Structure 1
Amino acid sequence: MQLVQHVLPTSALILSPGALSGPPMFNWHLTPARRAGRGYAVLPNHDKPASLPPAPPTATPVAYGTWLDRFPAGARPYLFLLRLDKPVGTWLLYWPCAWSILMAAYHQQAALGTTVGMLALFGTGALIMRGAGCVINDMWDKDIDARVERTTTRPIAAGIISRRAALVFLGAQLTGGLAVLTQLNWYSIGLGMASMPFVIVYPLMKRITYWPQFVLGLAFNWGALLGWAALAGETHWAVTLPLYAAGVSWTLVYDTIYAHQDKRDDRLVGTRSTALLFGDRSRTVLSLLSAQTVALLCLAGYANDHGLIYYLTTVVGAGGHLAWQLATVDFDNTRDCWRKFESNVWLGALIAGGVGGDYLYRRYRTDTDGNQLATRVEGDSLSATAE
């Protein structure tokens, strides 16, 4: 059993591991421990077989080993709950919004200021709603997180933040998210509210299906539908549906890689994931999903009449990045799985860069052609006057 860290002031718990292939052999009991860094040690003990361990006792926050430690101790657990030290999730939530906004701006030849303003508004919304999603997830998963090595230090699982306090905190976040949403048109407000069932039920899916990553994709890529509606006041389904489907396929790829970090503990506590479902076939299945992602990006670009910049940057760039990930990822190395998962922030940026580049080029061409036309008209008028 590997070292598990947690936040406890004076004691630690001992876990007795049995073979994964045999019946569970676990027993938690208190033992004095030397406080080191931010946690307790879970050490092997083969004396007393028992059932799965209960959650750890209430803990007191010490340090998280990140820049969040600069904040007051009372605020630190809430900031950690929001995963502010790990902004990857915020970017992954934001990029589909940005793709859709930029595609709508390209289609409508929207003003640059309007487009940038909408991108900034959705960036604020992504930051708030990703945090809210983390709180919902951790409230549902309190008991599971306490038994999974990677998540034992999450504040709700550790007993640092109670469920009641988390609920109040969630209410404040949802209020902030609603404030952002109400800046949009009524069509977009209704469309945005329609995503909430996916956000709420996602944490439950790992208990009942091997496809929680699919439900996450439905929730995380809703911005691919919403961004266009926010800018244009309606949704161009021929573009946004394949874009949304591309995002869902992409999420299945990166979150399956992410889930491989926890597959040992997931088997232990009985939770499910596509990492467990695909198993040794993960590379093959994710390669097919990656090809599907690229094909759907092509379809969305074709429907929106995109140009060469889009296809070279968005389609070829995304395809190359996905190929690199799947050619090099080590599914049995948790650090490498995290690095590959994290790299998807740049893949999302590549897609946005291709759409944005095409949009800016089209605006430049439109402005240039408009100026040339105005010059010709003015010249013709002067000639007519002279005659």
Structure 2
Amino acid sequence: MQEQELIKVLLRLGDLPGRPIFVVGGAVRDLLIGECPKGWDLDLVVEGDAISLAEQVFQEVGGVLKKFPDFLTAKIIKPDRFVGVAEIDFATARREVYEQPGALPRVTPASLEDDLARRDFSVNAMALRLSEYASREWSGLIDLAGGFEDLQARHIKVLHARSFIDDPTRIFRACRYAARLRGEFEPQTERLLKEALADGALESVSTARKLNELKKICLERSPERVFEILFEQGVLARWPGFERQTGEVVLQAAQELSALKSKGLSQDYYGTMFKVCCGELNDAKRDAFLHGASLGKREIKSIQALLGEKVCAATCEDASDEALVLAILRVPSGDERETMLAEVKRRSLVQA
């Protein structure tokens, strides 16, 4: 109901002659597979001034308005009138030019077709007029890259050969979508991904952008499955600075953390995996990683102290809850793990 009322507002204010509004990306994909996303949001593309439209809508629905004129985009976060709507993204139809690998793109206004062609994967390169989306009618689906066919086949396919070079964060997104759709990479896409990794594509990605992708992974319904795909594709082994160039410890931690969360562990998944990744970095990379995460000096010092705690079966009774859990995540099996797990249960951190 909230969604339909919001769409009525958008249609009344924005879907005008000469300024059509299209729903793109995840909302269209989810409609086609019949999935109801958690925390509803909407990605809109306008063949016109998207920022102006966002300002008009904001005046009526409230929330928090953020504008990004360099990228011809804006967003309204948690509109006051529509509880349950997480975010509305507005973008002028645009084309992108990546002037160097890993850099943010330079954008210029363009047609809807150009906008769809710049997207990451075929399953995200589909669009519907907002009015059709509102009626759940998709006979007018705009699908220039075969996204619907790939969605049915559960294939993750990039749209051009430089996709992972221009924006290496697409490597993480590809693994997220493969896990979410229970799909696999189209062969050419898998080859391009591995070539980008071998060429050091992840080296060009800032710490902030890596952490943003890590956070998105941890918010997935089955984050451990994403980490399994990251491991299988060699992404964890290519994470710059990891001491063990396989990523096995990170994968093991993700799997164990999911198991503990299913038993009631309250620790934040992202916060815990962030510390696991920090623990896998060499000293120089760890310092850069922590400072790149925009943390305060006190928080950095606290994390470094936590990672410096030596927890084993003999000392686990004296360890903090967080240090104890981190220690368990790094011990795959055996008597030592069982002793520490018993201590976790004794503290009622998980269900017995």
TM-score (norm 2): 0.31
Please tell me whether Structure 1 or Structure 2 has the larger radius of gyration of its CA atoms. Answer: 1
Q: Which structure would you say has the larger RCO, counting Cα contacts within 8 Å and 6 or more residues apart?
A: 1
Greater fraction strand = 2
Structure with more helix by fraction: 1
